[in-house]
Amino acid sequence: MDARTQQIVVFLLIGLVAGWLASFIVQGGGLIQYLVSGVIGAFVGGYLLDLLGIRLGIKNPLLAQVTTATIGAIVVVIIARLIV
């Protein structure tokens, strides 16, 4: 497995974990919904935290990414529920 493939796999796993955590917090979901909300949440969380100038202060980069993606996934799930 080359480095690019590993990066994609890690990104998807982070999205899956973030989606699962978000659905645990705001209730609901299945495997595909976890993955979709987590991957979209990674982008949303990164954008929102950067826009607001918020730095999490977490030393572990993997934990920081999962936390950021989870925050974004929670926002995505809440907005999706308001729209639907």
Domain boundaries, the chain: 3-83
Task: Spell out the per-residue pLDDT of the chain, length 84, in tens.
Answer: 789 999 889 998 998 899 989 988 888 777 788 888 889 999 999 999 999 999 999 999 999 999 999 999 999 989 988 997
CA dist list (Å): 62 to 30, 51, 59, 65, 82: 23, 21, 9, 5, 30
pLDDT at 63: 94
For the chain, the first-to-last Cα distance in angstroms comes to 40
Sign of CA dihedral 77, 75, 46, 61: negative
pLDDT at 43: 92
